[in-house]
Every structure is written in structure tokens, then in C-alpha cells.
């Protein structure tokens, strides 16, 4: 019985119990129990397990266990544990409950065996996660949360519409590979693909990510970075493996965030762009669709959740102690926050794919898959993107926060719970990078891959060292863009600036036309009334007394005309 218990229910039970426990360390400690139980359940569930039920005439699969679902379920449980440990000090029931519901919904979606179940958990992640943004309590966070919620709910609406059309085409709602139907132009699968793309932050659909993640609370940003976009990656890997257009979408995703991240001053927005960049690698892996590529996607998602959380944790700790995450206002913090600095460097080395760190053993799988299938241009793009991410996340983040100019800030080291969460995450980043076999054993397909070959190591080190040299030269010559106290607009300019301007212009045109039409009708009516007054008013022609003879004559003429017409007819 216990091995068929859905792990997402553990989080929902926790969300119901937690508010009943007095606020304090006891509640924080108990919150850590639920992701541990979830991970244990996922680890012990037998592969091939299905838990189904009838719902409005459809077979609904609440639990479908295979290796792809298991690895994502495990990393989501681990991410929930680390995030809740990082948030130990938080005394906000809304955030605590929202975090559990968010993680539970993400895990429920991972094990969903049909599109209806996926939809319910899909929307569950949207509704639960928005409270992590609103919990910041500012007017800006409220408006950002509304924009975020609109995008996430829209994704769900498109998903359920696609599921309905998919059911009409196939007669079932099973959540399985839809690549063939997508290639055939089936409208239902196209809508499902588009819904996944919104949540995965495809190009031109990505602005919700950079808008919302930095607007959340310090701990909320760490939690947000772990689930939503990786759930979308899982969904693409489940539903659209080998869909070639994903290769090119992913390649674009790896490129464009680099240029925005270089000029961005808010370091949490830099990490949000970096997150977009890393998602591109995973999307390319799904698009290639081979066993090696899909293993690379799953491994990179696992590693990425850890090192991206670590980077958000370190910047969050700095924000917690200093009140700012602006690169222009930080610097020299290594003097008083040395442990946070070390953990940040570990995260930077991991995301940059340094040998012996987790990013190296996962990213190399995708690069090898691209080269093996002769996508040489894509391979070159991914290499360039790897250099770019080292530039803005591997160097820029730790350099401007802990080194660079001395800001004069002397904050205390991060709280113990933050340090412990960062320490555990950093340990995992190093352990996975140095000994990848346990991670490889969890991957969807059998792995016969050796990441530490001479070619892989030398190629990656050359890339990283030349990127570091370029950064040094740019800094020494003063060419590197300075950290300006400004806000950079992305393509969201179209709906945050251009859109309102266009609407304002249309409203002015319509208002002007309405005013002109109203004045014209008013003047026309006024002239008509004056004319009627002149003829029918008290002094008008029609108001005069008419002689009796004239009236008799008029009646006689009318009578004569009537008789004449009657005679003719």
C-alpha cells in the first residue's frame, strides 16, 4: 500500500498541517520532513507502477512511474528540502504553505499519466507560486505577480484546449509522445506545445521569468528557480522528444540571454537570464531526442536545479544582509561574508561547467549528442553559449558581489540555516561533478558515457580560460559595460511601453472622433430645433391664425383631388 501512495499528497498534507503548528523553529523543522518522505516514496516506488481512476468517462492516471519521472521527482523533492532549509528563518505562513503546495503540484505533474491530471497540477504550480511573489508585500510585487499569473494561467488554458482537441483526434488523453502528430500539423498538439513553451520561457515568451523571479521574496526566488521551468522541460521531454524545431528554439534560448545579462545591474535578473540560457541546452537535448541527448537533458536539469539554486541562495544571502542585489552597489563583501563567497564560487564553477563540478558532467552529454548527430552549427552555438554563461554568471556574479571595488559595506555572514543550505548544495555540486556515476544511474536510459576524456577536459578548459582572459582584458581596458543604476527593457518593452503607447494613441484618436461627432450632432440638432421654432414656434408661420375661407378652399381642393383620383382608378 505504501509504495502506491502518491508523493504529491505528502506535500498537500503538510500544507494542511503546517498552519496548525505554532510559528517558530518547530514548524520550520517539521516542514523539512515532507520532502524527505516524498523522496523516500519516490525512491521505493517500483518502475512501471500505474495508479488510475475513472473520471467523467476517462481513465485518469494519477501515478505513472518510470525513470524519467523518477529523476525529476527526486530532484524536486531535494530542491524542496534545500529551499525550506534555506527559508528556516521565515515566519510567514503564506510562504511556507505556498512552497509546499508548489513543490507538491510540480511532483504531481511529473507523475501524471494523462493530460487532464497534468492540467490540474500545471495550474496548481501557477496558483501556489504566485504567492511567493506577492509575499514581498510591495505594490510592484503585486503587479508583477498579476503579470506572472496571467501568463501561467494562459498556459494552462491553452493546455486544456489542446488536450480537448487531442482527445477528439486520438480518443484518449494519455500523456505520451506527441511528436508525430505535431509533425503532421495537428492543432491540438500544437496548442500543447505552445503551452509548454510558455512555461519553458521560449524566446518572446520568456519575459515573465526575468520580470517575476527577481520580484519575489529572497527565499521565494530560490524556490521559484527550481520547479516551473524544469517542469516544462520534463513535459517537453515526455511529449515532444525528437521534435527538430526544439533544437533551433533551444539554440536561440542559449544565445540571446547572454547579451542582456552582461549589461544587467540587478544580479537576480542576471541569474534569471542565465536560467533562460541553461534551459536552452535542455531544450536542444529534447529536440535531438536520442537516448544520449535525453539523458543529457535529464542530467542537466538535475544539476541545474542545484547550482542555480546555490547561486540564487548566495545572492539572496547578500540581499538579506545588505538590502540590495545591484552590482553597482556591491563589492568587497569577501571580507565579512567569506563562506557565502566560497559557496557562490562553487555555484559559478558548476554553471560554467568546470571539470569536477556538476555542470561539466551534464552539459557534455548534450554537446556530445549534438556532435554525434552532426549538428555541428548547433554544437558551435552551444560552445559559444557556454563561454557566455561563464562570462556573466561564472565571473560577473562573484566578481561584482565579493570583489571589484570596495563598496564599504560590512555585513554579517549569512544566517546559519542559509549557510547550511548553501553548504549542502555546494557539496552536491562538487560530489556529482567528481563522481557522476550515481546520477548517471538515475537517467532514463542506460549510460555508456565517459565525461572525463582528454578531449572534453581540454576543450572545456580552453573555452573557460579564454573567456576569463576576454573578461580580464575588457575590464582592464575599460571596455566592459559598467554597472549602471538603470533598468534594462527586454522584449517586454512591446507590452509594457510600446503597447500602452499604442493603446493611448488609439484612445486619443477614438476620443477625438467621438468628440467631433458629438459636437456635430449637437450643432445639427440645435440648428434643426431653431428652424422648427421659426416655423412652428409661437411667432412662427404655422402658428398664425388662418382665415376660414382659406381653410374651406383647402378642403375643397383636397376633396376634388380625391374624387379625381378615385374616378381614374
Domain ranges of the chain: 1-240, 242-489, 492-531
| Region 255-264 average pLDDT | 84
**pLDDT band for position 263 (50/70/90)?**
confident
Kindly report each contact of residues 328-331 with a partner whose C-beta sits within 8 Å and lies 24 or more positions away, as own/partner.
328/265, 328/482, 328/483, 328/484, 328/485, 329/407, 330/267, 330/400, 330/401, 330/404, 330/407, 330/409, 331/400, 331/401, 331/402, 331/403, 331/404, 331/405, 331/406, 331/407, 331/409
Contacts of residue 357, defined as CB under 8 A and 6 or more positions apart, other chains included, come to: 307, 346, 349, 350, 429, 430, 433
Mean pLDDT over the full length of the chain: 89
Q: What confidence tens digit (pLDDT) does each residue in 153-207 have?
A: 999 999 999 999 999 999 889 999 999 999 999 999 999 999 999 999 999 888 8
Q: What confidence tens digit (pLDDT) does each residue in 304-349 have?
A: 999 999 999 999 999 999 999 888 888 889 999 999 999 999 999 9
Alpha-carbon dihedral angle through residues 243, 244, 246, 250, given to the nearest 10 degrees = 150
Flag whether pLDDT at 150 surpasses 80.
yes
**pLDDT band for position 232 (50/70/90)?**
very high
Q: What is the pLDDT of residue 162?
A: 96
| Region 551-563 average pLDDT | 78
Flag whether pLDDT at 80 surpasses 60.
yes
**pLDDT band for position 482 (50/70/90)?**
low
Q: 230 with 308: CB under 8 angstroms?
A: no
Q: What is the pLDDT of residue 544?
A: 62
Query: What distances in angstroms separate CA 514 from CA 131, 522, 554, one per listed residue?
Result: 42, 12, 47
The model carries a pTM of: 0.87
| Region 478-483 average pLDDT | 67
Flag whether pLDDT at 566 surpasses 90.
no
Flag whether pLDDT at 414 surpasses 70.
yes
Flag whether pLDDT at 540 surpasses 80.
no
Q: What is the pLDDT of residue 547?
A: 63
Amino acid at each position: 500500500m505504501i509504495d502506491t501512495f502518491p508523493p504529491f499528497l505528502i506535500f498537500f498534507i503538510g500544507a494542511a498541517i503546517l498552519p496548525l503548528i505554532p510559528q517558530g523553529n518547530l514548524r520550520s523543522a517539521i516542514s523539512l520532513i515532507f520532502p524527505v518522505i516524498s523522496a523516500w516514496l519516490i525512491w521505493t516506488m517500483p518502475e512501471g507502477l500505474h495508479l488510475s481512476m475513472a473520471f467523467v468517462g476517462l481513465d485518469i492516471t494519477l501515478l505513472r512511474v518510470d525513470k524519467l519521472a523518477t529523476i525529476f521527482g527526486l530532484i524536486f523533492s531535494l530542491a524542496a528540502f534545500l529551499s525550506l532549509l534555506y527559508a528556516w528563518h521565515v515566519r510567514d505562513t503564506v510562504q511556507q504553505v505556498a512552497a509546499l503546495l508548489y513543490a507538491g503540484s510540480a511532483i504531481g505533474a511529473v507523475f501524471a499519466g494523462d493530460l487532464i491530471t497534468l492540467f490540474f497540477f500545471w495550474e496548481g504550480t501557477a496558483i501556489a507560486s504566485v504567492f511567493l511573489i506577492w509575499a514581498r508585500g510591495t505594490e510592484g510585487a503585486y503587479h508583477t505577480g498579476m503579470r506572472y499569473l496571467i501568463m501561467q494561467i494562459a498556459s494552462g488554458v491553452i493546455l486544456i484546449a489542446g488536450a480537448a482537441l487531442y482527445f477528439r483526434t486520438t480518443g484518449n488523453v494519455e500523456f505520451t509522445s506527441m511528436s508525430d502528430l505535431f509533425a503532421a500539423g495537428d492543432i491540438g498538439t500544437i496548442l500543447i506545445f505552445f503551452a509548454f513553451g510558455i512555461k519553458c520561457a521560449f524566446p518572446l515568451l520568456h519575459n515573465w521569468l526575468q520580470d517575476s523571479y527577481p520580484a519575489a521574496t529572497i527565499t521565494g526566488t530560490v524556490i521559484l528557480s527550481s520547479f516551473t521551468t524544469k517542469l516544462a522541460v520534463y513535459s517537453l521531454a515526455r511529449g515532444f522528444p525528437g521534435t527538430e524545431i526544439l533544437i533551433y528554439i533551444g539554440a536561440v534560448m542559449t544565445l540571446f540571454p547572454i547579451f542582456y545579462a552582461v549589461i544587467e545591474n540587478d544580479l537576480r535578473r542576471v541569474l534569471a537570464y542565465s536560467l533562460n540560457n541553461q534551459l536552452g541546452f535542455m531544450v536542444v537535448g529534447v529536440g535531438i531526442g536520442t537516448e544520449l541527448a535525453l539523458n543529457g537533458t535529464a542530467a542537466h536539469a538535475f544539476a541545474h536545479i542545484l547550482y542555480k539554486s546555490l547561486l540564487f541562495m548566495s545572492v539572496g544571502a547578500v540581499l538579506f544582509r545588505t538590502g540590495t542585489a545591484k552590482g553597482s552597489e556591491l563589492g568587497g563583501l569577501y571580507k565579512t561574508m567569506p563562506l557565502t563567497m566560497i559557496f557562490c564560487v562553487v555555484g559559478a564553477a558548476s554553471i560554467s561547467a568546470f571539470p569536477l563540478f556538476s555542470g561539466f558532467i551534464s552539459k557534455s552529454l548534450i554537446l556530445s549528442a549534438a556532435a554525434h548527430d552532426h549538428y555541428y552549427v548547433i554544437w558551435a552555438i552551444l560552445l559559444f553559449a557556454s563561454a557566455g554563461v561563464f562570462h556573466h554568471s561564472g565571473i560577473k556574479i562573484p566578481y561584482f558581489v565579493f570583489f571589484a571595488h570596495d563598496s564599504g559595506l560590512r555585513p554579517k555572514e549569512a544566517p546559519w540555516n542559509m549557510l547550511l543550505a548553501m553548504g549542502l548544495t555546494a557539496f552536491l555540486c562538487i560530489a556529482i561533478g567528481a563522481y557522476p556515476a550515481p546520477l548517471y544511474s538515475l537517467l532514463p536510459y542506460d549510460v555508456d558515457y565517459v565525461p572525463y576524456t582528454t578531449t572534453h577536459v581540454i576543450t572545456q578548459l580552453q573555452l573557460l580560460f579564454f573567456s576569463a582572459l576576454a573578461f580580464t582584458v575588457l575590464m582592464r581596458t575599460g571596455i566592459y559595460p559598467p554597472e549602471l543604476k538603470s533598468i534594462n527593457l527586454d522584449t517586454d518593452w512591446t507590452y509594457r511601453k510600446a503597447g500602452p503607447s499604442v493603446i493611448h494613441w488609439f484612445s486619443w484618436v477614438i476620443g477625438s472622433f467621438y468628440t467631433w461627432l458629438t459636437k456635430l450632432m449637437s450643432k445639427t440638432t440645435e440648428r434643426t430645433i431653431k428652424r422648427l421654432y421659426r416655423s412652428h414656434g409661437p411667432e412662427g408661420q404655422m402658428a398664425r391664425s388662418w382665415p376660414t375661407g382659406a381653410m374651406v378652399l383647402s378642403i375643397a381642393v383636397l376633396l376634388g383631388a380625391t374624387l379625381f383620383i378615385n374616378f381614374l382608378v
